[in-house]
């Protein structure tokens, strides 16, 4: 277990890399939420937007993450900012898709009932559709966050720091302790994010819907 010793001896450096990693992940997911949720909601109302986004989504899903990161270099150079842009671009789609699909799959009878109660369109969206779609929207954010923990590792290749740095250095020096000191915390971070996301999904499920999902 040479890597545990490495972790302890270099704890300051590792904490710094962990902070960079988390900053990159949370900042990119935060920006994506701020952009993708409104766009997803708009797409449920505007047919043209929906069609354009579906086309873009089909292609974008297939583009490899490392390609998106690499493409940032000729445009924005290396460092934190280009990595942040790449991660934001990557996490945008799962959040958008889940937001759109979530609202779209709300039972039309419920929307009708809300209309019958005299709610206007804005209130139907914000007080009926969004709360009912919240678990699906949260699932999209969870997917994006777990995925971005992984892509933030690759961001080390374009000089953005993060725990990937240790893996890259470990590979270059063939230093197994350093390699695992980067890899094991990264793996745990991703699994932790998945668990946090599952908890978040539960929290965002409206009380009335919790009976069915256990």
Partner 1 sequence: MIMRFIIPSLGTVIELTWQHVRIVTAAVLLAVLVGVPLGILIHRARFLAVPILSGAGVLYTIPSLALFAILIPIMGLGMKPAVTALVLYSLLVIIRNTAAGLHNVPPEVIDAARGMGMSSLQQLWYVELPLALPVILAGIRVATVMNVGIAAVAVYIGAGGLGELIFRGLASLNMGSLLTGTVAVTALALMADLGLARVEAALRR
Residues at the interface with partner 1 (CB under 8 A): 59, 61-67, 70-71, 73-74, 77-78, 146, 149-151, 153-154, 156-158, 164, 167-168, 170-171, 176, 179-180, 182-184, 186-187, 190-191, 194
Q: Give backbone dihedrals phi and psi of 105, rounded to 5 degrees, phi first.
A: -95, 10
To the nearest whole angstrom, how small is the minimum distance from the Cβ of residue 128 to partner 1?
A: 30
To the nearest whole angstrom, how small is the minimum distance from the Cβ of residue 58 to partner 1?
A: 8
Closer to partner 1 by Cβ: residue 124 or 178: 178
To the nearest whole angstrom, how small is the minimum distance from the Cβ of residue 164 to partner 1?
A: 6
> Do 106 and 132 contact (CB within 8 A), yes or no?
yes
What is the C-alpha separation between 17 and 10, in angstroms, rounded? 11
Q: Which residues of 33-58 are buried (b: 16+ CB within 10 A; e: fewer)?
A: beebbebbbebbeeeeebeebeeeee
Closer to partner 1 by Cβ: residue 69 or 114: 69
> Do 43 and 49 contact (CB within 8 A), yes or no?
yes
Closer to partner 1 by Cβ: residue 43 or 146: 146
Q: For 119, which DSSP code? A: -
Closer to partner 1 by Cβ: residue 43 or 168: 168
């Amino acid at each position: 277990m040479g890597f545990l010793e490495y972790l302890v001896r270099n704890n300051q450096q590792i904490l710094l890399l962990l902070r960079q990693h988390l900053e990159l992940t949370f900042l990119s997911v935060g920006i994506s939420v701020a952009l993708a949720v409104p766009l997803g909601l708009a797409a449920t109302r505007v047919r043209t937007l929906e069609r354009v986004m579906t086309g873009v989504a089909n292609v974008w899903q297939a583009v490899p993450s490392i390609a998106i990161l690499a493409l940032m270099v000729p445009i924005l150079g290396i460092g934190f900012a280009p990595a942040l842009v790449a991660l934001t671009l990557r996490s945008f789609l799962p959040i958008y898709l889940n937001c759109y699909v979530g609202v779209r799959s709300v039972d039309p009878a419920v929307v009708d009932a809300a209309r019958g109660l005299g709610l206007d369109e804005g209130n139907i969206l914000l007080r009926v559709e969004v709360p009912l779609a919240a678990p699906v929207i949260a699932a999209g954010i969870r997917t994006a966050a777990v995925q971005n923990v992984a892509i933030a590792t690759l961001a080390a290749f374009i000089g953005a720091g993060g725990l990937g740095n240790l893996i890259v250095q470990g590979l270059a020096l063939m230093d197994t302790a350093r390699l695992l000191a980067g890899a094991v915390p990264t793996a745990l971070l991703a699994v932790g994010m998945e668990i946090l996301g599952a908890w978040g999904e539960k929290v965002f499920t409206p009380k009335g819907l919790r009976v069915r999902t256990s």
